[in-house]
Amino acid sequence: MLVNDFVPFKGQHCETTATGSLLKHVGLELSEPILFGVGEGLGFIYWDMQTMPFPFLGGRNKPQQITRNLATNLHLCVNFQETASTRTAWKNVQICIDADTPVGLQLDSYFLEYFSHKVHFAGHFVAMYGYDETYAYLVDTQPTGSIVRATLKNLERARNAKGPMAAKNLSYTMARTNDMPNLAEAAMHAIRHNAEDFLNPPISNLGYKGIEKAGKQVKAWFTRSHNIGDDLALAAMLMEGGGTGGALFRNMYRDFLGECARFVDNRKLVLGYEMFCRIAPQWTEVARLIKQAGETTDQHYLDQASAALLDLSKQEKEAMGYLAHLDGPSSKIDTNGSLLFLNK
């Protein structure tokens, strides 16, 4: 059983790819930077618990929040379902697919056979558009192959996984409403709100304070690990290739601001965009330094990564300071309520 006329969204990040696929199916095709930005996706977390083998650096807000923010800011209808029962979880999905509706899923990528790097990460998202007696047919990010499949048994294990970031067999669907706002206005609201949250984190391991904390803690990572070479290599790979704390999300947010600047004449918006043009490559350099530290066990590279993170904390605080005080949309915006920023 396959959803009729389904065309996958091709993206770099899992949640925007999954949600983008659902929206594309209902005729709302937005660029990935717009999905990320209007979803207020930019963030940071330095996460370290005694039960974790190694600290986790995340460069976005928490799982599901991009989709929830998109639904709020664009007046979309989103229906989330969670259950502790694997049987009910499958029924929830099967009903949607049989009704010609693709479904978003949150799961642990470790159990999906098409992943070459086996790391438990329960905050992963895919879109599901079909199934047969053996396989579920999925849309994942372009780096993982885009159009992929997983056995129904592995999908069940992935959806029912426990641990950090895990959801209870979560699935969701999305639909448009007749109350769509002007996207430019929604984007300006999202920028301000995202910036305010980033500048006022409730705890010190989030937002710009989290980047500062990471800068202080990274110097001691050699004493934090029992397998430093592998742990640092994995951290660097996840940061840059997986986007957890690397340049991917900063590149995406930079591009979002750049798209907005095409339609909105706002000096603070341009300043924020220009700053993220400079900020994004520095995250790639941090990942490189961490990888180099793992390969050489040379403390010098961690010290350099520390200094870079401390500086990035200040830069992102300044950039978000501009963006938190954006004025309303200018006369450049099409005020007829139509959606702007469609894919180029």
Residue 283 confidence (pLDDT) above 70: yes
CB of 127 closer than 8 Å to CB of 104: yes
Q: What are phi and psi of 288, to 5 degrees?
A: -65, -40
**Rounded Cα–Cα distance for residues 187 and 191 (Å):** 6
Q: Is residue 26 located within the same domain as residue 158?
A: yes
Burial group, residue 65, by CB count within 10 angstroms (0-12, 13-18, 19+): middle
The H or E element spanning position 264 is none
Q: pLDDT tens digits, residue range 129-166?
A: 999 999 999 999 998 889 999 999 999 999 999 988 89
How many residues does the structure list for the chain?
A: 344
pLDDT digits (tens, 9 = 90+) for 21-30: 999 999 999 9
Question: What's the gap between Cα 85 and its chain centre?
Answer: 27
- Same domain, yes or no: 165 and 221: no
Q: What is the DSSP letter of 109?
A: G
**What pLDDT score does 341 carry?**
41
H helices of the chain, where? 14-25, 32-38, 65-73, 86-98, 152-159, 183-199, 207-217, 221-224, 228-240, 247-261, 267-296, 299-323
Please give the residue range of the domain that contains residue 262. Answer: 183-323
Give residue 329's pLDDT. 53
Average pLDDT over residues 234-249: 79
- Judge whether 263 and 332 are in contact, CB under 8 Å: yes
Query: Backbone phi, then psi, for 262, in 5-degree steps?
Result: -70, -25
In this predicted model, what pLDDT tens digit does every residue of 67-80 receive, in sequence order?
999 999 999 999 99
**Residue 150 domain flag:** yes
Q: What is the distance between the alpha carbons of residues 66 and 38, in angstroms, rounded to a whole number? A: 8
**Same domain membership, residue 269 and residue 156:** no
Residue 284 lies in a domain: yes
Q: With H, G, I as helix, E, B as strand and everything else as coil, classify residue 119.
A: coil
Of 164-168, 260-264, 270-274, 330-334, the least confident: 330-334
Residue 146 lies in a domain: yes
- State residue 185's pLDDT score: 92
The predicted model gives 13-25 an average pLDDT of 97
**What is d(CA 170, CA 271) in angstroms, rounded to the nearest whole number?**
39
**Final residue in a domain of this structure, among 113, 143, 175:** 175
Contact between 83 and 169 under an 8 Å Cβ cutoff? The reply is yes
Query: Which of 158, 175, 192 is the endpoint of a domain?
Result: 175
Same-domain status, 115 and 206: no
For the cut 80, the answer to whether the pLDDT of residue 250 exceeds it is yes
Looking at the fold, whether 155 and 187 belong to one and the same domain comes out as no
Q: Is 100 inside a domain boundary?
A: yes
Confidence of residue 244 (pLDDT cuts 50, 70, 90): low
Please report the pLDDT score of residue 339 as a whole number.
Answer: 42
Query: Are 147 and 198 members of one domain?
Result: no
Within this chain, do residues 102 and 239 fall inside the same structural domain, yes or no?
no
Asked if pLDDT for residue 238 goes beyond 70, the answer is: yes
User: What are the distances in angstroms from CA 101 to CA 10, 19, 41?
Assistant: 18, 13, 25
Q: Are residues 93 and 134 in the same domain?
A: yes
The last residue of one of the domains, among 148, 175, 202, is: 175
The pLDDT, as a whole number, for residue 328 is 61
Number of structural domains, the chain? 2
d(CA 18, CA 20): 5
Look at residue 332 and tell me whether its pLDDT is greater than 50. Answer: no
Look at residue 344 and tell me whether its pLDDT is greater than 80.
no
Share of the chain above pLDDT 90, in %: 78
What are the residues whose beta carbons fall under 8 Å from the beta carbon of 265, sequence distance 6 or more? 330, 331, 332
105: exposed, middle or buried (C-beta count within 10 Å: 0-12, 13-18, 19+)?
A: buried
Domain check: are 153 and 300 in the same one? no
Does 18 share its domain with 162? yes
Average pLDDT over residues 186-213: 96
| 159 shares its domain with 263 | no
The DSSP result for 134-163, as a single string, is SEEEEE--GGGTSEEEEEHHHHHHHHT--S
pLDDT at 340 over 60: no
Residue 1 domain-assigned (yes or no): no
* Other C-beta atoms lying within 10 Å of the C-beta of residue 116: 6
DSSP string, 173-198: EEE--S-PPPHHHHHHHHHHHHHHHH
Query: What is the rounded CA–CA span in Å between residue 90 and residue 21?
Result: 20
